[in-house]
Structure 1
Amino acid sequence: MAGNKEFSRLLNLLKDAPGLVIAFSGGADSAFLVAAALIAGVKSVLPVTVVSDFFTAGEKERVVRLGQYMGIAPVFVSANILDEARVTRNTDKRCYFCKLFLFSRVMEVAKKHGIHTLLHGANLDDLREFRPGMAAARELGFKTPLVEAGFSKEHIRACSKILGLETWNLPAQSCLATRIPQGDIITKEKLVKVERAETCLHGLGFGQVRVRCHGNLARIEAAPDDLHRFVEPGVRQEMVQTFKRAGFYYVCLDLDGYAPTTDT
């Protein structure tokens, strides 16, 4: 990526670190950050993935694939997020308390390995959105080199494509907790229902999609261009059957389509 001033700036920010611990979700931003750290020649790069009930099996599989592609082994750490009442109460501070809880686990790994520099993959676009978790990460001492280097989401995707990362065109991701309306208690049962339902939709070829859990009712948000597909007989039948097996009584489609503003 010769001539890419942001990428050169990023490598300069990373290259002199004796070691880096990177919060690695397997999304586009953190994957690109891990790749950049390796290209920069950092002696010790440790991607840490926190696995909780908010993290899907598909996301874990992607982390493994990315690690294999980049030639690095992510460290998986388990966290019992549903034991944290400040998170499960699902107030407007859920994201803050969640990030505080999960990133503290990343810090424990860093301390165990004697690495003092902690990073996460926030980008410039994140600064324009309501993201309470950013404050928690900052309080814990996590740095944001993608922001410092001037990377937008679009730029990260473009560079990721050049690097051959499968995440270059990955739809926007958010944890499963965002599928539960604010004020509703987050439970294992609700999260499992949502994950099964969304896995079904991904298997049917839907990319940017969310299943919002309103008790026994599933409200599907999909990209506007995909809305017409839900009336196709094969799609509708498989979807309804799978959703009901997952525990939903009713299945409805939100005609407004996917709303990223609710992914917090």
Structure 2
Amino acid sequence: MVLQQLDRTLQNKHQELQDLFSGMEQALIAYSGGIDSTLVAKVAFDVLGDRAIAVTAESPSLLPEDLEDARIQAAEIGIHHEIVQTHEMDNPNYTSNPVNRCYFCKSELHDTLKPLAIARGYPYIVDGVNADDLADYRPGIQAAKERGARSPLAEVGITKLEIRELSRMLELPWWDKPAQPCLSSRFPYGESITVEKLQQVAKAERYLRKLGLKTLRVRSESGTARIELPPSEIQAFVINHDIPALVEAFRSYGFLFVTLDLEGFSSGKLNRVLQQPTVTAP
């Protein structure tokens, strides 16, 4: 009964999404290739057909394999897909990595997409922001809203879990794809971001994925790589893999030290510093 109720709820929300796009003459989707924006692209194409376009921003903070995934998924959906270059790495407000770094990233993205949408006659730019994102610290949402972007998933009230369930219901083969935020999210606020550092993290995470691991992060701080895995996988990881070889590989990428986070993977872990209580001297 609970599953049937869940299915009905998702079916209703799916219909709301379709109705939302039916009210748009044309739409340009800010498409990262992640599960959120890919669901938006799927529904937009189902409703609008060739009046919907998916555009992916390519930059050093995007893994090349994620860009390839975006291409493959767009082709399977059938939606027209284009790639643009963004240059957030030229902005010191971004590379200095302040707590609102994402604001400058999304500003660059939408300042790139908006002229393209206007030139092509697309009155709407939509993104993959969902209902759960609205309760998280996401300064990039403000930048997108300031530039007129809409967030269909959030407008309909679709959560992260519902995105996966709806993607599965629509038989999208990537419904269980792990979340993959930009590589800049691997660095603690205040540590500068460079192309070299981004490439170090990319190589490290690629190494771990070749070992068969899916959900993971390699956080980087002052030359130290901190590996995050799901808690249930930590023991098997230590027992079953060649740790000295891993350390040697990470050292070759430029890391001085390699550590394993015993707490395990947690999305947005670096935002904890924003929640620390202020202590005043007596």
TM-score by length of 2: 0.89
Whole-Å separation in 1 of the counterparts to 2:262 and 2:52: 44
Residues 87 and 108, structure 2, Cα contact 8 Å, conserved in 1: no
Match of residue 24 from structure 1 = 31
Whole-Å separation in 2 of the counterparts to 1:129 and 1:40: 30
Secondary structure, in 3 states, of the residue corresponding to 1:102? helix
Alignment pair present for 1:45 and 2:66: no
> Superposition pairs for residues 199-218 of structure 1, below 5 Å?
199-218=206-225
What is the aligned counterpart of 2:115 among 108, 124, 132?
A: 108
Whole-Å separation in 1 of the counterparts to 2:8 and 2:166: 11
- Residue by residue over 1:113-142, the C-alpha shift from the partner in whole angstroms, topping out at 9 and shown as x without a partner, is 111111001111111111111111111100
Larger Rg over CA atoms = 2
Match of residue 157 from structure 1 = 164
Secondary structure, in 3 states, of the residue corresponding to 1:260? coil
What is the identity percentage for the equivalent residue pairs of Structure 1 and Structure 2? 34
TM-score by length of 1: 0.94
- Residue by residue over 1:208-258, the C-alpha shift from the partner in whole angstroms, topping out at 9 and shown as x without a partner, is 211111122111111111111332353424422321221112110011111
Whole-Å separation in 2 of the counterparts to 1:43 and 1:216: 47
Whole-Å separation in 2 of the counterparts to 1:70 and 1:152: 22
What is the aligned counterpart of 2:21 among 14, 18, 31?
A: 14
Match of residue 258 from structure 1 = 265
Match of residue 252 from structure 2 = 245
Whole-Å separation in 2 of the counterparts to 1:96 and 1:84: 12
Residue 42 of structure 1 and its aligned partner are, at CA, apart by 4.7
What is the aligned counterpart of 1:137 among 144, 155, 161?
A: 144
Alignment pair present for 1:128 and 2:141: no
Can you give the 5+ residue segments of structure 1 that lack an aligned partner in the other structure? none
Alignment pair present for 1:228 and 2:231: no
Can you give the 5+ residue segments of structure 2 that lack an aligned partner in the other structure? 1-6, 272-282
- Paired residue total: 264
Match of residue 98 from structure 1 = 105
C-alpha root-mean-square deviation of aligned residues, in Å?
1.7
